Structures are given as C-alpha cells and as structure tokens.
C-alpha cells in the first residue's frame, strides 16, 4: 500500500508517478482524503504529480492522469510534465506579481490624491493670510521695506506651491477619470487676451502678442479649463525661453474648428523626444539640463483637457530655435449636432 502522495509532493518538492493505480493499493492520510476520493470517483488508471515550483517555493501540485483504456503514464512522461509545470508556475507567478503591482499603483494613486487634497487647504490659507498682511502693510503710510521683501517672497513661493498642488490634484483627477468639464460658451479671442495679459505680468523679458479675428469667436467648452490650458502653454513658452524674446498667440478659424498656436523662440525640443512630451512626468533632456524646474505634469493635463473637448494638441519644434504648440478645438461640443 502506498499513500496518494499529494502532500508528499507538496512537502518534498519531488515529482511522483503512479503508473498503475489498481496495483498500487492506495491509502490516504487524512490530508489526502479528498484527493483519494477524486482518484476513486474518476477511476484513474495512472497519474503523475508534479510540484509547481517558483524561486524555491512550491505553489501547488499539477496532476496528470489517465483513465480507462488510454495508455498509462510512465516515468518517461515525467520530464514533459515537469516542463509544463514550470510554465504553469511562471504564469501563476506573473499573474501574482502583476496583481501586486496593480495594487501598489492603486495605493500610490490614492496616496497622491489624499496628499494633494490635504496640501491644498493649508496652502490656500497661507496664501490668503500673506495677501492680507501685504494689503495691511501697503496701507500704512510708510511701508517697511524690510517686511515687504520677505512677504513678497512668501507670496511668490506659496503661489508656486499652490500651482504644484493644483497640478497634483489635476493629475489624480485625470488618472481616476474625474476631471470633469463644465460646458458653456467660450469667447476664444477674449480668452487669449486675458491669458496674454496675465502672462505679461509675470515677465519683462518677453513680448507677448495676440493675433485673433476681429469678430468674436465663440466655441463650446469649459472656460476655466481652457484658460488653464492656454496659461500653461504660455507659461511654458516663457519658462523655456530664458533669454526672453517674442511669444505669439495666434488664432486661426476653420469651418468646424478653431486652432490656437503658441510660438516661442526658446530652447526648443530635440526631435527624438517630441513623441514622449505629453506623457506624465516627461521632461525633455535639454529642459532637464537647465535650471528650469518642473514636474512634467503640465502637458499631460493639458492634453487630457484638450482631448475631453474633442480637440487635439500638436507640437512643432527645433532644438535651439523654438517651439510651436498648436491646439485645435471643435466649435461645437462633441456629440452635439447643430
Ligand atoms: P514641466 O514644464 O513641468 O517640465 P510640462 O508637462 O509642462 O512639464 O512640459 C513637459 C516638457 O516639455 C518640459 O519639461 C520640456 O522639456 C518640454 N516643453 C514644454 N513646453 C516647452 C517649450 N515651450 N519649449 C521647450 N520645451 C518645452
């Protein structure tokens, strides 16, 4: 009499072959009782048990069996069984690792989302109080320069922090598909003027010009989100032309769409790197080599917002010469007819 063997295989990691079940006079220990029942119920004639081993861990046992008149398995079949078991073990391990990676990504995204939400409240509060202090200071008859300069530094850095936090928040919204648009009518010409006006405040080295149609151009879209898109592209144009120079915002009309091109004469982008630009955390090598800091999130979010409008974004650039980012937006909301 011999034991069914399932637990022996699990424990030893050695394969086992029973070429003739009827001659083997199987007995089952309590732990193998179920297996014993199956062998009897299926009237197995022969079977082989091979451990599924990966990195010295036994994940389980693969059973090969014959019934009835089929030729019984012999020791010669074992190498094939073991090769199959090896593949099965790899597949199981891969699936496990994949699930683990997915779970880690989910935890990371969740952390990112919570962290950016939690950072937003204190940042907004610091900014508010700094602005309050600045107003009070400026109202005094002789504002103290020793207070004004550090206060401005606090404001500037908090604004920067705020922008980073907002980008992180948007990233987690994009990743979870929760960045929603509030549809309305957008006057593209005045939007361009507004963005240019604000950008001029942040630089005295660049000349920012807008060329738009005389008549108002109204499209369907989310005013605030489109402002964010343009603001981002113009800020990039400023950031990546540290020597200064002209930056132009040009609006062109097509029958069913409008296109807006933002052109700078900055550091440009190496041709080989253009295709990766809209991926998150992507920064071109020539940008990373400068002192210009960035997370590489802006264009990823811009791309998402433009796509949600049913539009496209493209880039044309020559390293050392300058770049043009062009967004094309349909005049009507996608899915809306007439
Ligand atoms: P960030 O500016 O924070 O790095 P973005 O997502 O806005 O992130 O941009 C991604 C990358 O695209 C930048 O790091 C830079 O390499 C490149 N880039 C974007 N705009 C310009 C531009 N106007 N001129 C040159 N490179 C640019």
Q: What is the pLDDT of residues 117-149, one digit of tens each?
A: 899 999 999 999 999 999 999 898 888 889 889
- Which of 80, 16, 67 minimizes the C-alpha distance to 38? 67
Residue-wise pLDDT for 254-276, tens only, equals 999 999 999 999 999 999 999 99
Q: Is 295 in the pocket of ligand 1 (CB under 6 A)?
A: yes
Mean per-residue pLDDT, 108-124: 90
How far, in Å, CA of 234 to CA of 55, rounded? 53
Mean per-residue pLDDT, 316-325: 97
Q: Is 247 in the pocket of ligand 1 (CB under 6 A)?
A: no
Mean per-residue pLDDT, 48-54: 96
- Which of 194, 324, 175, 184 minimizes the C-alpha distance to 259? 324
Q: What is the pLDDT at residue 85? A: 97
**Dihedral sign for Cα atoms in the order 143, 144, 145, 147:** negative
Going from the Cα of 293 to the center of ligand 1, the distance in angstroms, rounded, reads 10
DSSP 215-248: S--EEEE-HHHHHHHHHHHHHHHHHT-TT-EEEE
The answer to whether 309 and 188 have CB atoms below 8 angstroms apart is no
Q: Give the residue, out of 239, 293, 297, 299, with the most ligand 1 atoms within 8 A of its beta carbon, to mutate for a pocket test.
A: 299
Mean per-residue pLDDT, 6-18: 92
Q: Is 113 in the pocket of ligand 1 (CB under 6 A)?
A: no
Give the residue whose CA is nearest to atom 23 of ligand 1: 237
Q: Is 165 in the pocket of ligand 1 (CB under 6 A)?
A: no
3-class DSSP state of 236 = helix
The answer to whether 188 and 219 have CB atoms below 8 angstroms apart is yes
- Which of 186, 168, 180 minimizes the C-alpha distance to 300? 168
| Pairing verdict, β 322-330 and 312-318 | antiparallel
Residue 158 CA from chain centroid, whole number: 26
Q: Give the residue, out of 164, 236, 269, 305, with the most ligand 1 atoms within 8 A of its beta carbon, to mutate for a pocket test.
A: 236
The answer to whether 44 and 67 have CB atoms below 8 angstroms apart is yes
Q: Is 240 in the pocket of ligand 1 (CB under 6 A)?
A: yes
Find all residues with CB under 8 Å of 190, minimum gap 6, and list them: 216
Query: What rounded mean pLDDT belongs to the chain?
Result: 92
Going from the Cα of 275 to the center of ligand 1, the distance in angstroms, rounded, reads 12
Q: Is 284 in the pocket of ligand 1 (CB under 6 A)?
A: yes
- Which of 134, 196, 193 minimizes the C-alpha distance to 159? 134
Q: Is 297 in the pocket of ligand 1 (CB under 6 A)?
A: yes
Q: What is the pLDDT at residue 64? A: 96
Residue 51 parent element (H or E): strand 44-54
Q: What is the pLDDT at residue 338? A: 43
Mean per-residue pLDDT, 282-295: 89
- Which of 10, 3, 54 minimizes the C-alpha distance to 24? 3
| Pairing verdict, β 26-27 and 44-54 | unpaired
3-class DSSP state of 149 = helix
Tell whether the model's pLDDT for residue 336 goes beyond 60.
no
């Amino acid at each position: 009499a011999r034991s069914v063997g399932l637990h022996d295989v699990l424990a030893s990691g050695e394969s086992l072959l029973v070429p003739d079940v009827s001659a083997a006079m199987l007995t089952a220990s309590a732990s193998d009782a179920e297996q014993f029942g199956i062998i009897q119920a299926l009237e197995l004639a022969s079977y082989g048990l091979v451990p599924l081993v990966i990195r010295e861990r036994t994940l389980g046992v693969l059973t090969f069996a014959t019934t009835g008149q089929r030729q019984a398995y012999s020791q010669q079949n074992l190498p094939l069984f073991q090769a199959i078991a090896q593949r099965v073990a790899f597949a199981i391990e891969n699936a496990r690792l994949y699930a683990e990676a997915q779970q880690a990504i989910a935890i990371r995204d969740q952390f990112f989302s919570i962290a950016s939400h939690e950072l937003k409240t204190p940042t907004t509060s610091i900014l508010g109080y700094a602005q309050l202090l600045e107003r009070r200071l400026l109202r005094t008859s002789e504002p103290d320069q020793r207070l004004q300069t550090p206060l401005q530094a606090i404001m500037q850095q908090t604004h920067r922090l705020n922008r980073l936090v907002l980008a992180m928040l948007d990233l987690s919204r994009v990743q979870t598909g929760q960045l929603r648009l509030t549809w309305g009518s957008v006057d593209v010409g005045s939007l361009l003027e507004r963005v240019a006006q604000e950008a001029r405040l942040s630089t005295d080295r660049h000349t920012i010009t807008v060329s738009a149609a005389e008549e108002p151009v109204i499209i369907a879209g989310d005013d605030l989100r489109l402002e964010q898109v343009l603001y981002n592209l113009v800020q990039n144009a400023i950031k990546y032309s540290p020597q200064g120079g002209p930056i132009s915002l040009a609006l062109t009309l097509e029958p069913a769409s409008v296109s807006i091109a933002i052109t700078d004469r900055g550091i440009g982008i190496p041709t080989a790197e253009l295709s990766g630009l809209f991926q998150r955390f992507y920064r071109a090598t020539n940008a990373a080599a400068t002192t210009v800091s960035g997370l590489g999130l802006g264009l990823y979010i811009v791309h998402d917002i433009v796509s949600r409008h049913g539009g496209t974004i493209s880039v044309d650039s020559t390293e050392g010469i300058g770049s043009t980012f062009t967004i094309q937006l349909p005049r009507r909301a996608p899915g809306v007819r007439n």
